Amino acid sequence: MTPSDNTQNRTDNLKREPRSDLLKAAAIYGVVAIHTPGPEDDLTSCFRFCVPVFIILWAMHYELGLSKRSPVQARRYVMNRLISLAFPYSIWTAIYLFLFHTREQWLNTPYTTIANGWLGGYGWPGQYYFVVLFQLTVIFPFFRGIFQSRLLYPILILGLIVTLISEAFLWKFHFVSGMGDRLFVYWIPYLALGITLSRPPIPSLLPNFLMVIISIIALSVCKYEQAWLASQSDRASPYILVSVYVGSIFLAWASFFRSRQTELFTTKVVTAIEFVGRNTFPIFLLNPLVIYLLPPEIAAPIHNNSGIAKHYILAMLVLIICLCLARVLRWLRMGSFIGT
């Protein structure tokens, strides 16, 4: 990385969008809550917005980064982003495959399962997100070059149609279910919205309060749609759902539609949440390790109301421990292990 790139990165950090960090903080807590052992309840299903929202915000910041660079700098920027993904992906895949699979499993598992599953996105919680980002990082410069704001609505409608078709019958095909949600085509609409949010003025689809209401309603029915889809195919993705698609898009759109941030909390609380939002990548990488190391008596799920409360408290504890571990790794000059 050249000094000019370092300067540009510092400038980008100084101009961070607070609403982005707040939304990322909510999304990463959702990721940790989904990964943390506990009873499956309505709120856990609602957190399925986390990955689509991450993709939208990732695309928004990617577009902002590319728009400030010359073509030569942009190519270097793309390559640096790929490297910043590849290194932690390789390190943590090696660590988690060692922890999660015994020697006997390595010897008795078909090579195709190891390559397509353990190394291809399903070797540890959240690994598939890297597979998606590798694809999107490469195609993004080409996509942004042909994308125009007037194409947003057709792309969003097409994405809804693809989601409906996938739910209706595509998951029944072995190739489609085998690819799962790793294929980049499912995430293109989120790229389009992310680019749009980075290019003001942001178009108004509906009044802001109505978009929030639609998002809440859509995410509230996610549990039931997911249960129905699971009864149709045991290999279907809980993220390729109409409820998740609609809820995530309206949530992100509503969050960035207004130009002024509305203060909902005290300054200290906002600062703490923004800090979490600025450290989502280390939390994403470390939370499987922290959950794996939890004592069994703490991690064992309790299937009642007190168990649900314990689940979300435990998820918050996991998140805090991840932040502490990230601090230690940076102190040990091992920040590259967690992408920082």
Give the model confidence (pLDDT) of 287-328 as tens digits: 999 999 988 877 776 655 567 888 899 999 999 999 999 999
Residue pair 184/230 in contact by the 8 Å Cβ criterion? no
Best CA proximity match to 57, nearest among 281, 325, 288: 281
Mean pLDDT of 55-80: 94
Q: What is the pLDDT of residue 88?
A: 95
Q: What is the mean pLDDT of residues 39-57?
A: 88
pLDDT at 92: 96
Which residue intervals of the chain are DSSP H helices? 3-14, 18-35, 42-46, 50-67, 71-100, 103-108, 111-113, 127-146, 152-168, 174-179, 188-198, 208-220, 222-232, 242-257, 267-277, 280-293, 296-299, 305-331
Span 144-173, pLDDT tens digits: 999 988 899 999 999 999 999 998 888 878
How would residue 56 be classed by pLDDT, with cut points 50, 70 and 90? Answer: very high
Evaluate if residue 4 carries a pLDDT over 50: no
Tens digits of per-residue pLDDT, 214-254? Answer: 999 999 999 999 989 888 887 888 999 999 999 999 999 99
Distance CA 168, CA 164 (A): 6
pLDDT of residue 13: 44
- State how far the Cα of 321 lies from the Cα of 329, in Å rounded to an integer: 12
Least confident stretch, 13-27, 133-147, 272-286: 13-27
pLDDT at 25 over 50: yes
Pick the closest to residue 229 from 220, 237, 217 (CA basis).
237
Measure CA 288 to chain center: 15
Mean pLDDT of 97-119: 91
C-alpha to C-alpha distance for 221 and 229, rounded to whole angstroms: 12
Question: Quick one: pLDDT band at residue 210, thresholds 50, 70, 90?
Answer: very high
Q: What is the pLDDT of residue 222?
A: 93
Q: Directed axis angle between helix 71-100 and helix 280-293, to 10°?
A: 10
pLDDT for res 5: 41
> Between 219 and 44, whose confidence is greater?
219
Largest CA-CA distance found in the chain, in angstroms, rounded: 57
Residue range 253-288, pLDDT digits in tens: 998 865 444 455 557 778 888 899 999 999 999 999
Average pLDDT, the chain: 87
pLDDT given at position 266: 56
Q: What's residue 17's pLDDT? A: 67
CA distance 283 to 323: 7
Domain spans in the chain, listed from the N-terminal domain onward? 18-259+268-338
Interatomic CA distance for residues 316 and 327, integer angstroms: 17
Q: How confident is the model at residue 340 (pLDDT cuts 50, 70, 90)?
A: confident
- The Cα 61–Cα 19 span in angstroms is 13
- Please, what's the b/e burial string for 144-170 (b: 16 or more CB within 10 A of its CB; e: otherwise)? beebeeeebeebbeebeebbeebbeeb
**pLDDT value for 290:** 96
Quote the pTM value: 0.90
